[in-house]
Amino acid sequence: MPENTAPPAPKPDLVPGLAGIPAAESAISFIDGNQGLLAYRGHPIESLSEKSNFEETAWLLLYGKLPSRAELDSFSATLAEMRQLPERMIEILRALPGSGHPMDALQASMASFGMFSRHQNFRDTEYSDEAIMRILGAMPVLVAAFDRIRGGKDVIEPDPSLGTAANFLWMLTGHKPSELEARILDVALILHADHTMNASTFAARVVASTEADPYTVVSSAIGALTGPLHGGANERVLEQLREIGEADSVEAWVDGQVTAKRKIMGFGHRVYKVKDPRADILQSLANNLFESHGHTPIYDTAVNLEDEVVKRLGDKGIHPNVDFYSGIVYSKLSIPIDLFTPIFAIARTAGWLAHWREQMASNRIFRPTQIYSGEHEQRYVPIESR
Ligand code: COA
């Protein structure tokens, strides 16, 4: 090295997937992956899933504290009003191919929903609160309406006397759900409402940091949630259980997966090294549902699969995650498999919007760096000579 030449600066280490690298400071949710703890604004999900409902939990995530009775009543009533979508939104859903995935319909329709309310200042609290309620109100309606339209059925009018979960089941099936069915979906929504800096929330914050509007933020997060390593895993879990079939086929099936080094859907988590606490709650909800609606053989297969996978891979920190039992619960509620991820999105919208607000309150645009590993000083060769 010639004298006076400074040594090259050490290259920063690349951390694939940014594992363990903080991307933001956040007061919204907290996970202790070794203890199996998840809390929203300091409230453990066990107590919220026992005592709260989705609307109250959404408020808690968004505004940082439990609402008063008057605040909750007004929030719930406004959400119910916001379920009345412009007729042209339903026309947009009708124009989409019914053979497409409902997540794509949800992403496209949420992006276009913003066009019905774009020219306003979302830094203004009045507008941002209205946008939050419009988006939270619209999400379940878009999912249910798309499902009705693709099935050649009439779109059902929302029922303002019902909460988010019960109204979704009503608009999807045309039957008023039992108290137990509505409560189970309500709890599933609570459990999926936020989960620290996961891929879709990170996507939401990156898009939020550009000062894009909240409709664009949510539609970008919906896109990130579609992948099978994130929200899409819950659909794969049910397909996987159907592929395995009987409970006594589990051992051989797991052998095949482990030998082929294939991932088992519904297991493993970047943060939890013990059983995901949401999986425990969903498992007990599944049990309640079976008591009232009759047993499902697929549940025995699931329980055997959990035992077998934990026996083989538990010491690597591979345990069931939230997606493992959510699919079983949703299928027992007769919800089509490809709506599992949209339901996850309905719930997670509360978290995405809370992160949007938090990002806006102290924003700096995301602009990470990279480690360049390409060529330098290439000579341009004319096309005839290549
Ligand atoms: N089945 C079998 N092995 C798994 C596994 C699974 N579901 N998840 C992780 N592993 C193994 C990996 O093969 C790897 O083993 P190795 O060290 O011998 O190579 C090790 O555990 C670490 O896996 P890695 O993919 O690096 O973990 P991650 O933290 O990057 O990934 C997930 C986390 C969630 C993406 C991953 O566990 C996964 O793909 N799970 C299945 C999909 C799923 O259920 N997603 C929903 C998440 S809520």
Hey, whose CA ends up nearest to atom 37 of ligand 1?
Answer: 268
269, 278, 313, 321: residue to mutate for ligand 1 pocket, most atoms within 8 A of CB: 269
Residues 290, 294, 297: CA angle, nearest 5 degrees:
80
- Closest residue by CA, ligand 1 atom 20: 316
Angle CA 350–353–357, to nearest 5? 135
Q: How far does residue 165's CA lie from ligand 1's centre (Å)?
A: 31
| Residue identifier of the C-alpha nearest atom 48 of ligand 1 | 321
The answer to whether the beta carbons of residues 356 and 214 sit under 8 Å apart is: yes
Collapsed DSSP state (helix, strand, coil) of residue 218: helix
pLDDT of residue 3: 58
The CB of 320 under 6 Å from ligand 1? The reply is: no
For ligand 1, atom 31, the nearest C-alpha belongs to 270
pLDDT at 118: 62
294 vs 341: CA distance, rounded Å: 25
What is the model's pLDDT at position 355? 98
Atom 45 (ligand 1): residue with closest C-alpha? 229
Assess whether 154 carries a catalytic annotation. no
CA pair distance 170, 89, nearest whole angstrom: 19
Model confidence pLDDT, tens digit, residues 103-121:
999 999 999 999 998 667 7
| Ligand 1 centroid distance, CA of 386 (Å) | 43
The DSSP line for 64-124 is SSPPPHHHHHHHHHHHHHHT---HHHHHHHHHS-TTS-HHHHHHHHHHHHGGGG-SS-TTS
Euclidean distance between CA atoms 34 and 364, whole angstroms:
32
Centre of ligand 1 to C-alpha 55, Å, is 32
d(CA 144, CA 255): 39
Residue 162 CB–ligand 1 contact under 6 Å: no
Report how far ligand 1's centroid is from the alpha carbon of 269 (Å). 6
Q: Is 39 helix (H, G, I), strand (E, B) or coil?
A: strand
Q: Is the CB of residue 61 below 6 angstroms from any atom belonging to ligand 1?
A: no
Ligand 1 in reach of 285 Cβ (< 6 A): no
Question: What local confidence, expressed as pLDDT, does residue 230 receive?
Answer: 85
The predicted pLDDT at position 85 comes to 95
Centroid of ligand 1 to alpha carbon of 241 (angstroms): 18
Q: What's the CA gap between 33 and 116, in Å, rounded?
A: 41
Ligand 1 within 6 A of 318 CB? yes
Q: What global pTM score does this model have? A: 0.91
Q: Which residues share a beta bridge with 39?
A: 30, 44
User: How far out from the chain centre does Cα 334 lie?
Assistant: 20
Catalytic residue among 269, 276, 319, 355: 269
Question: 71 in the Ramachandran plot: left (φ > 0), alpha (ψ -120 to 50) or beta?
Answer: alpha
Residue 235 Cβ inside 6 Å of ligand 1? The answer reads no
Query: Which has the closest alpha carbon to 208: 356, 366, 348, 368?
Result: 356
Contacts of residue 290, Cβ cutoff 8 Å, sequence gap at least 6: 296, 299, 332
pLDDT, residue 273, reads: 87
Q: Which residues of the chain have pLDDT under 50?
A: none
Which residue's alpha carbon is nearest to atom 35 within ligand 1? 229
Instruction: Quickly count helices (H) and strands (E) in the chain.
Output: 16, 3
Whether ligand 1 lies within 6 angstroms of the CB of 313 is answered as yes
Q: Answer yes or no: is the C-beta of 184 below 6 A from any ligand 1 atom.
A: no
Instruction: Output the CA 167–ligand 1 centroid distance in Å.
Output: 35
- Quote the pLDDT of residue 375: 97
**320: β partners:** 267
